[in-house]
């Protein structure tokens, strides 16, 4: 979980979450519906503030992406709009004093999808699996890595070994570049990485991206060249 002044990001479930409370306006005759509308307006404001602070990778926030003026920038802005965007109110609590508490969640995969599909570049018909590895688990426990939607995995020479650019456009439209976990004892994890994943230990952290050893970088490059595992984003980050 990453905490921000406007809310929190639950990386395990892939959502940005805000909790807001609106009280009845005592200066006018206020209805429950009016208070709900006020609360929803506050959710929209807080979701927008939180979303712009969410890191896409170790060096770029969503706010940076919105300011780029790329084709996906307008789609990101539209994804924050009330009723038609990528967020919903998932919980409502009505208090006896007339105040209403709402919890709003922004689905980060849906929201970042235009960026992912724009940047995904992998092409070619590689084998389904090949070799022994069925997926990748990157172990970053013990590091100070701050999560992001699409962290870059770097070799010792700072050259990217894996990022959203290594995915195919088709896969980026259905799957996030990485899945964040805190426990490998999870059946859903092995649905993604299979029963024989390659486990890679992070060697260092650089600008909140992950650095692996030269031997592990070579293994990942070989997997990327010889299979569809990286194209399909079958990568889990353990923290």
User: What tens digit of pLDDT does each residue of 78-116 get?
Assistant: 999 998 999 999 999 999 888 899 999 999 999 999 999
65/74 Cα distance (integer angstroms): 10
Range of the domain at 24: 2-119
- Collapsed DSSP state (helix, strand, coil) of residue 129: coil
Yes or no: say if 194 and 187 are a contact pair by the CB < 8 Å rule. no
Same domain, 113 and 14: yes
pLDDT digits (tens, 9 = 90+) for 129-174: 555 789 999 999 999 999 999 999 999 888 999 999 999 999 999 9
User: Could you tell me the two tokens for 29?
Assistant: 């005759």
User: Could you tell me the two tokens for 149?
Assistant: 């939607």
Same domain, 19 and 101: yes
Same domain, 13 and 84: yes
Yes or no: say if 16 and 105 are a contact pair by the CB < 8 Å rule. yes
Same domain, 150 and 232: yes
Same domain, 39 and 147: no
Same domain, 113 and 141: no
Residue 126: inside a domain, yes or no? no
Same domain, 211 and 103: no
Same domain, 96 and 145: no
pLDDT digits (tens, 9 = 90+) for 67-76: 999 999 999 9
| Lowest-pLDDT range of 39-43, 129-133, 184-188, 200-204 | 129-133
Same domain, 162 and 214: yes
239/220 Cα distance (integer angstroms): 19
User: Could you tell me the two tokens for 71?
Assistant: 């084709």
CA dihedral for 75, 80, 81, 83, sign (positive or negative): positive
Domain count, the chain: 2
Euclidean distance between the first and final Cα of the chain, in Å? 11
pLDDT digits (tens, 9 = 90+) for 212-229: 999 999 999 999 888 889
Enter the pTM of the model. 0.90
Angle among Cα 116, 117, 123 to the nearest 5 degrees reads: 115
Yes or no: say if 226 and 163 are a contact pair by the CB < 8 Å rule. no
CA distances from 107 to 90, 191, 197, 233 (A): 11, 21, 27, 18
Same domain, 94 and 163: no
Same domain, 88 and 144: no
Quick one: what percent of the chain has pLDDT higher than 90?
Answer: 74
User: Could you tell me the two tokens for 174?
Assistant: 């259905």
């Amino acid at each position: 979980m990453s905490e921000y002044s406007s809310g929190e990001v639950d990386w395990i479930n892939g959502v940005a979450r805000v909790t807001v409370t609106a009280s009845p306006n005592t200066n006018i005759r206020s209805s429950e519906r009016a208070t709900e509308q006020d609360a929803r307006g506050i959710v929209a404001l807080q979701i927008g503030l939180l979303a712009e602070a969410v890191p896409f990778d170790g060096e770029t926030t969503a706010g940076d992406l919105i300011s780029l003026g790329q084709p996906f920038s307008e789609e990101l802005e539209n994804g924050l709009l009330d009723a038609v965007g990528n967020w919903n109110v998932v919980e409502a609590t009505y208090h006896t004093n007339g105040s209403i508490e709402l919890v709003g969640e922004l689905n980060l995969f849906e929201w970042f999808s235009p960026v992912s599909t724009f940047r995904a570049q992998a092409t070619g018909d590689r084998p389904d699996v090949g070799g022994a590895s069925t997926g990748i688990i990157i172990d970053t426990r013990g590091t100070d890595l701050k999560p992001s939607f699409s962290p870059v995995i770097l070799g010792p020479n700072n050259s990217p070994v894996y990022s959203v650019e290594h995915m195919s456009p088709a896969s980026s439209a259905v799957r996030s570049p990485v899945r964040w976990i805190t426990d490998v004892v999870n059946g859903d994890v092995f649905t993604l990485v299979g029963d024989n994943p390659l486990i890679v230990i992070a060697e260092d952290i650089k600008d909140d991206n992950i650095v692996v050893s030269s031997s592990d970088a070579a293994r990942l490059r070989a997997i990327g060249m010889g299979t569809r595992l990286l194209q399909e984003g079958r990568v889990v980050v353990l923290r």
